[in-house]
Amino acid sequence: MKKEDVFAKSLDMHRELGGKLDIECRKKIESMEDLSLVYTPGVAEPCRAIERDPEELWNVTIKNNLVAVITDGSAVLGLGDIGPAASMPVMEGKSCLFKRFAGIDSVPFAVSTNDVDEFVNVVSKIAVSFGGINLEDISAPRCFEIERRLQERLDIPVFHDDQHGTAVIALAAYKNALRLTGRGIEDAVLVINGAGAAGSSIARYFLAAGVKNIIMCDVGGALCEGYTEGLNPAQIELSKITNPEKRRGSLAEVIRGADAFLGVSRPGLLTGEMVRSMAPNPVVFAMANPTPEIFPDEALAAGAAVVATGRSDFPNQVNNCLGFPGIFRGALDVRARCINEEMKLAASEALASLVSESELSREYIIPSALDPRVVPAVAAAVAAAARRTGVSRI
């Protein structure tokens, strides 16, 4: 389907449906007895049970399977700062994906503030109703502070999917791409282009997973310790833990000889000439959406061994649907208090392991978002890691 066709058809569908979500009652109300159980007077007893023991909230309400999808509309994928109202169709869509892939109920919220304190306070005050908080499309560097402060305040998972979801799936695909090209995760030199929310979190997460040599690039070139002009605090911290050889220069300069490229930046920033300057049989993840840093055919023609993008019309889509449904499913199943690093690493490993040695190829390094094995495998791995690290209630 052509891009202009999908836009027009999507708008028509949204207008016809009047939104994509419904709220349904699990208990049919067809008699006065049903009414007395669902509402007054019977509902008083579960209320008293919660008053006696707040943990009963998990047992007698939807909290055990309910996630809030929350944004301020400041960094909506492909659209930028469009504001809270215009972001609502995206938040509804995310709720649809929670339900479709993991059977999780969710409610979209758009919060009309760009003030960190106010946003944190609003979310904190409604969080008692939910089993988890999915932050979405919040600009950097505010998103880092918002997530950190909310997780400190709340005893349920707080997960900014733009940061961590992309990182979890990218690591799974990256490990398999290195396996395909005969490289070790500790030895490969990786250039990450884009030091915003996604790129920064990917870098930190990859370091936690054992990647040793990462060079971060942004509009001013390579991040390097000691050169702080134009960097925000999060990028300054990144400059201290990446680029061990302290290389300076533009993307074109620092990518020479690199084993892999991962882009979460803007269209067209990687050229065929740059790919040819990399190490033999390089790995290229061009994940800018909807237009990648380089299209797969050009990257492959320039010598790339394997290419991944964020698009569904090319092989090896790094799709967040591979991550957040299973991650939240596993967290909710054990009533986790957070989603920690061990749970995320377990999710990446579960995803990577779904591609067997015999299946691994340049066009198949990561499962499809529609693969029915994905959510159960990720959920089981996340739940086990939550229990192992002591953050589960069950």
Catalytic residue among 3, 9, 94, 364: 94
Cα 214 to Cα 217: distance, rounded to the nearest angstrom: 10
Residue 162 in tokens: 């733009």
Of 78-82, 135-139, 369-373, give the lowest mean pLDDT range: 78-82
Q: What is the mean pLDDT of residues 348-361?
A: 97
Q: Does the pLDDT of residue 97 top 80, yes or no? A: yes
Pairing of strands 66-71, 105-110: parallel
Q: Assess whether pLDDT exceeds 60 at residue 1.
A: no
pLDDT for 257: 98
User: What is the rounded CA–CA span in Å between residue 74 and residue 83?
Assistant: 6
Instruction: State the chain's mean pLDDT as an integer.
Output: 95
* Annotated binding-site members: 136-137, 162, 289, 319
pLDDT digits (tens, 9 = 90+) for 245-276: 999 999 999 999 999 999 999 999 999 999 99
Q: Which residues are annotated as a binding site for (S)-malate?
A: 289, 319
Domains in the chain, CATH or no CATH each: 171-309 (3.40.50.720)
Strand-pair category, 132-135 with 158-160: parallel
The pLDDT score that the predictor gives to residue 2 is: 62
- Listed in sequence order, the residues at least 6 apart from 223 whose beta carbon sits closer than 8 Å to its beta carbon are 195, 215, 216, 217, 231, 235, 238, 239, 242, 243
pLDDT for position 202:
96
Instruction: Label residue 229 by pLDDT band (50, 70, 90).
Output: confident
205 is catalytic: no
The one catalytic residue in 3, 9, 20, 39 is 39
pLDDT computed for residue 125 by the predictor: 98
Rounded to two decimals, the pTM is: 0.94
Mean local confidence (pLDDT), 131-157: 96
CB 17 within 8 A of CB 92: no
Q: What is the DSSP letter of 187?
A: T
H or E segment to which residue 167 belongs? helix 161-181
**pLDDT level of residue 280 (50, 70, 90 thresholds):** very high
> Across residues 102-117, what is the average pLDDT?
97
Helix (H) or strand (E) holding 367: none
381 vs 23, 186, 359, 367, 384, CA distance in Å? Answer: 30, 23, 22, 16, 5
Token pair listed for 268 = 């067209």
DSSP 132-166: EEEE-S--TTHHHHHHHHHHHH-SS-EEEHHHHHH
Residue of 98, 74, 77, 75 lying closest to 20 (CA atoms): 98
Q: How far apart are CA 189 and CA 182, in angstroms?
A: 13
- pLDDT grade, residue 233 (50/70/90)? confident
Q: Distance from CA of residue 309 to its chain's centroid?
A: 15
User: pLDDT band at 12, cuts 50/70/90?
Assistant: very high
Q: What is the pLDDT of residue 140?
A: 86
Distance in angstroms (rounded) separating the CA atoms of residues 248 and 130? 46
Model pLDDT for residues 300-344, shown as the tens digit of each residue? 999 999 999 999 899 999 999 999 999 999 999 999 999 999 999
Residue ranges for the known binding site for a divalent metal cation are 136-137, 162
- CA dist 318 and 309 (Å) reads 6
| pLDDT for the residue 3 | 60
Residue 170's pLDDT band (cuts 50, 70, 90): very high
Provide, rounded to the nearest whole percent, the portion of the chain with pLDDT above 70: 99
Q: Does residue 94 have an active-site annotation?
A: yes
Region 29-46 average pLDDT = 96
- Pick the closest to residue 321 from 279, 357, 275, 367 (CA basis): 367
Contacts of 166 (CB under 8 A, 6+ apart): 198, 201, 202, 264, 287, 318, 320, 323
The mean per-residue pLDDT over the stretch 29-57 comes to 97
Strands 221-222 vs 213-218: parallel, antiparallel or unpaired: antiparallel
Judge whether residue 89 has pLDDT over 80. Answer: yes
Please give the structure tokens belonging to residue 232.
């925000």
